[in-house]
Amino acid sequence: MQLRPGRFAGAVAIAMLITGCAYLTPQNEAVDESVLAPSGDDADLPAIVDESSPTEGSPPAVEVDAVETTVAPTTSTSSTTIPAPLGVDELILKSDGLGEALFGTEPDAVVSYVSSILGSPTDDSDWVGPDEFSCPGTAVRRVKWGVLSLMFGDQSSSADGRAHFMSYTYGVVDKFGEEPTGLRTSDGVTITDSVGSLLERIDVQLQEGDGDLDIPPSFFYEREPFPISGLLSGTDVDDVVLVISSGSGCLG
């Protein structure tokens, strides 16, 4: 798809941020969602109780003589319906965070939460200098699950002076349609949506970009506390959404 010329400097930042990887098998890890609001304290994990052994004082098992019976045939009620892609209902792309993880939340709690739904990260930059991603503060970290990328740092509009969840980016221009698929915003917008459908549902601003400066077409609409923005294949009604992002903290 050809990108059309125009100007929108903010789209450069998004395009520089996003790259993709393979999607991993989900983990069976439960997360206490009470730790996903901004906090400086770590939450204790709930104790796991083994209820497989009989309790003291239980009545003894009683042997019953076998009786010949006729068993009526059963009808299978199993369904062949294929479930929705994992995480679609839980990981809503919101203006204040991702699913239950709000911007400003402690990083390890957010990583554990997303991993419990999407599996282990496909890439983790660990803590590096802020210049690595054109961010403010003293250290930043990028964690990715395929084409879903989360940024953490110690300075943004969400918090200052402590490590926290700053922003997310969903989608990669040159990895269109890769996993995790089907994540949507609170307004129902997802990558692969047409520009026409975006214009019909939302009061959105479109920018054509600038091919000479390698600035792709983009969109933007206001929400609180942060706007929702992203990249497009073009600005015609048949063009599609390629990238969705929200939050603050980094320019690249």
Q: Tens digit of pLDDT for each residue in 75-109?
A: 444 444 444 445 568 899 999 999 999 999 999 99
Per-residue pLDDT for 178 more than 70? yes
Tell me how long the chain is: 252
pLDDT reported for residue 4: 44
Average pLDDT over residues 104-120: 96
The pTM is what? Answer: 0.70
pLDDT-derived band of residue 252, with 50, 70 and 90 as boundaries? Answer: low
Average pLDDT over residues 113-121: 95
What are the pLDDT digits (tens) for 29-51? 556 656 677 765 443 333 333 44
pLDDT reported for residue 167: 97
Q: What is the residue-averaged pLDDT of the chain?
A: 78
Per-residue pLDDT for 199 more than 70? yes
Per-residue pLDDT for 127 more than 60? yes
For β-strands 97-98 and 101-102, DSSP reports them as: antiparallel
pLDDT-derived band of residue 26, with 50, 70 and 90 as boundaries? Answer: very low
pLDDT reported for residue 226: 96
pLDDT reported for residue 116: 93
Q: Where are the domains of the chain?
A: 10-33+87-247
Average pLDDT over residues 19-24: 41
Task: Name which of 80, 81, 82, 92 is nearest 182 in CA terms.
Answer: 92
Q: What is the dihedral of CA 123, 127, 131, 133, to 10 degrees?
A: 30
Per-residue pLDDT for 222 more than 70? yes
- For residues 46 and 111, which has the higher predicted lDDT (pLDDT)? 111
pLDDT reported for residue 5: 41
User: Both ends of the chain: CA-CA distance in Å?
Assistant: 23
- Eight-state DSSP code of residue 4: P
Least confident of 57-71, 104-118, 187-201: 57-71
Average pLDDT over residues 206-225: 94
Per-residue pLDDT for 171 more than 90? yes
Strand runs labelled E in 6-147: 93-94, 97-98, 101-102, 123-124, 140-145
Q: Which two tokens stand for residue 196?
A: 């026409």
